[in-house]
Amino acid sequence: MKEQDDKQIIIHVDNLVKKFGDFEANKDLCFDVYKGEIFGFLGANGAGKTTAIKILSGLSSPTSGIVEVAGFDVYKNADDIKRNIGYMSQKFSLYEDLTVKENIRFYGGIYGMRAKLIKERTHELLSRLEMTDYADKLIAEIPLGWKQKLAFSVAVLHRPKIVFLDEPTGGVDPITRRQFWDLIYEAVEDGITVFVTTHYMDEAEYCHRVSIMVDGRIAALDTPDGLKQQYGAGSMNDVFLKLARA
């Protein structure tokens, strides 16, 4: 990693609070994400990861605080943000009753891509995933791991500045997860910033920087190596356990 100072901030969050009634799901979050990095957002179930990612991607409004994504204010320019981000959730999001190709065409279309460009990218994407033979198969007919990889590729089809991944590898075997991360690295090479939530600690090692959420707060934020050093732990798993139990 280079020095953070000469990095360009692409997500800026300051004092973000999200309340559901009396319950504070996000308490005073402050962090920046830099252009081109893989930012890991870790935490136990219910720590507030999904709430935060929904606010950043414009699915939910913050109660208070400053949130800027891709240079746009989340309160005022939600539509500009949406044009510049991709999103893939733990809940599977392609249409089961459409074919692989139809799904790609639909999502490309609603992001305003030209028909010719959609065709080119579809071809490119399918050959990269080695799924050319499955182009006309219904999503319902292909295995889960493939669906996840496809869903990711569709989420970055329009070449967004940032892609938000909410537990993208849930329920997927280790080999497919490894392949999934290969796709993430390829996206980063294309200049896309990746914001990913996960509770697989081995995946945390793949991130450039990691924040760990405990009970709605950010308890730690650093590179995986920095965190291990700071907490005197051998792996991210140990770091996580130390923090979560504290």
Q: Which is nearer to another protein, 216 or 224 (CB)?
A: 216
**Given the complex with another protein, which of 28 and 102 has the nearer CB atom?**
102
Structure tokens at 51: 């709430």
CA-CA distance, 104 to 109, in Å (whole number)? Answer: 8
The least distance separating another protein from the CB of residue 24, rounded to whole angstroms, comes to 17
> What b/e readout covers 83-121, taking b as 16+ CB neighbours within 10 angstroms?
ebbbbbbbeeebeeeebbbbbbbebbeeeebeeeebeeb
d(CA 195, CA 210): 10
Residues that bind another protein (CB under 8 A): 54, 57-61, 78-79, 82-83, 85-87, 89, 91-98, 102, 105-107, 109-112, 164
Token representation of residue 216: 């709605």
CB of 2 to another protein, least distance (A): 30
CB atoms within 10 A of CB 20: 10
**Smallest distance, another protein to C-beta of residue 100, A:** 13
Residue 34 Cβ, how far from another protein at the closest point, in Å?
22
Shortest Cβ 108–another protein spacing (Å): 8
Q: How many CB atoms lie within 10 A of CB 13?
A: 22
CA–CA distance, 115 with 12 (Å, rounded to integer): 34
> What is the C-alpha to C-alpha distance for residues 9 and 189, in angstroms, rounded to an integer?
18
When the beta carbons of 17 and 59 are compared against another protein, the nearer one is 59
* Closer residue to another protein (CB): 57 or 169: 57
Q: 184, 38 in Cβ contact below 8 A?
A: yes
Is 69 or 207 the residue whose CB approaches another protein more closely?
A: 69
19 near 42, Cβ under 8 Å? no
Q: Kindly state the smallest distance separating residue 47's Cβ from another protein, in Å.
A: 19
Q: What angle do CA 11, 39, 228 make, to 5 degrees?
A: 135
Q: Which is nearer to another protein, 1 or 144 (CB)?
A: 144
Decide whether 29 or 85 has the Cβ nearer to another protein: 85
CB of 97 to another protein, least distance (A): 6
